[in-house]
Homo-oligomer: A and B are copies of this chain.
Amino acid sequence: MSYRFELLKTDPKTRARLGLMTTAHGEVRTPVFMPVGTQGTVKALTPEMLKEAGAEIILGNTYHLTLRPGHDLIREHGGLHRFMHWDRSILTDSGGFQIFSLGPLRRITEEGVHFQSHIDGSRHFLTPEKAVEIQEALGSDIMMCLDDCTPYPADRGYAEKSMALTHRWAKRCREAKRSESQALFGIVQGGVHRDLRQASVEALAAIGFDGYAVGGLSVGEPKELMMETLEATAPLLPAGQARYLMGVGTPEDIVEGVHHGIDLFDCVMPTRCARNGLLFTNRGKVVIRNARYRTDQAPLDETCDCYTCRNFSRAYLRHLFIAREILALLLNTIHNVRFYLALMERIRTAVAGGTFEAFRRSFRGGHAEDDAGPMPDGRADEIVKPSEEDEP
């Protein structure tokens, strides 16, 4: 078993943690953000660009990869790492969340979930055993259990039944696992009910996993409720193992998640926002198509060390975006991914130096340079839209 998680420090003033994860593909310093590589590529970036941005681990989507190009093809290529030319760590989800978001195209039974492909309508059946088999074919460093993601709102009875199914599926995943070199994480459910969350943590810990994810958050509930549930759940998780908050979130959400003791995050927000011209900077969000940047010769973010900020002006980025040039997608994505990964570096430095609480308070005071309107919800954005070619 080559997976290992070492808890290096817990901040005495908050629950923030510093950790070192070791996988078959190297070390991952936590808290960490995982850029999302849905279809075997983090959209618009080469693996070298990801490395230059500081990525140590990325996320791959089992649902998408099994439909296209297929996990058998990827196994024949020697796994997802070789297929996509990425030699650092990969976490794969189970496909459960994407299937959950298919709505009428899916039907859940005790045995597993029947669904139709959003690409061609073909019928598929995913079981806990199959989810593990696929992820073993992909060869990811961290696999996720198939879970039944409880929607919001859900009444207590529904949430409890859904959670119990998740636990039975988690046990079947654990038993199906064959690979020695891959880790398997369990997923805590229980909706926004604190006692269910506690029961879920206990049930999963009793099965025993290499790490634990908090699932079923950022699925439409108010932000306060999400944070309350997280605050009640995270401290219950086994302290010696990695904690992953799935599909979250904004920079502010991530700082709060770290505050509550989370180690791993993923979200399509930096990449998707980049493609839509919404850029994160240390002075706030920038809507690059705004006329105010037409003649602006300054870099996007004076304090950023990314390739885009080192070499191009806001006026040029605006021109590329308005002219719908492919290079706009590259340069914007490079910057936003670097912004997220540099944020994680600042967080780790603050936790290491005992200044995380001060960092958190000053970070929350950040303002938007442009009035970008409400930010899209990171996880809701991930929902599969059958009519779209773009990434769920």
Residues of A within 8 A of B (CB): 39-41, 43-47, 68-69, 73, 76-77, 83-85, 294-295, 297, 307, 311-313, 315-316, 318-320, 322-327, 329-331, 389
Given known A41-B320, A69-B294, A320-B40, contact A77–B327 (CB-CB < 8 A): no
In the bound complex, do residue A327 and residue B46 qualify as a contact, i.e. CB atoms below 8 Å apart? yes
How far does the alpha carbon of A313 sit from the alpha carbon of B311 in the complex, in Å?
31
In the bound complex, do residue A295 and residue B73 qualify as a contact, i.e. CB atoms below 8 Å apart? yes
Residues of B within 8 A of A324 (CB): 389
11 A-B pairs, CB-CB below 8 angstroms? A39-B319, A41-B325, A41-B326, A47-B311, A69-B315, A69-B322, A73-B294, A76-B295, A83-B313, A324-B389, A326-B330
Given known A73-B294, A83-B316, A294-B69, contact A44–B323 (CB-CB < 8 A): no
Given known A297-B77, A322-B68, A324-B389, contact A316–B84 (CB-CB < 8 A): yes
Given known A69-B294, A69-B315, A297-B77, contact A326–B44 (CB-CB < 8 A): yes
Residues of B within 8 A of A312 (CB): 85
In the bound complex, do residue B315 and residue A73 qualify as a contact, i.e. CB atoms below 8 Å apart? yes
In the bound complex, do residue B330 and residue A46 qualify as a contact, i.e. CB atoms below 8 Å apart? yes
Q: Which chain B residue lies CB-closest to A320?
A: B41
How far does the alpha carbon of A221 sit from the alpha carbon of B89 in the complex, in Å?
55
Q: Which chain B residue lies CB-closest to A40?
A: B319
Residues of B within 8 A of A313 (CB): 77, 83
Nearest CB of chain B from residue A285's CB, rounded to whole Å: 22
How far does the alpha carbon of A295 sit from the alpha carbon of B73 in the complex, in Å?
7
How far does the alpha carbon of A167 sit from the alpha carbon of B324 in the complex, in Å?
37
Nearest CB of chain B from residue A17's CB, rounded to whole Å: 34
Nearest CB of chain B from residue A73's CB, rounded to whole Å: 6
Q: Which chain B residue lies CB-closest to A45?
A: B327
Given known A73-B315, A77-B313, A312-B85, contact A325–B43 (CB-CB < 8 A): yes
Given known A44-B326, A294-B69, A330-B46, contact A315–B39 (CB-CB < 8 A): no
Residues of B within 8 A of A84 (CB): 316
How far does the alpha carbon of A104 sit from the alpha carbon of B47 in the complex, in Å?
47
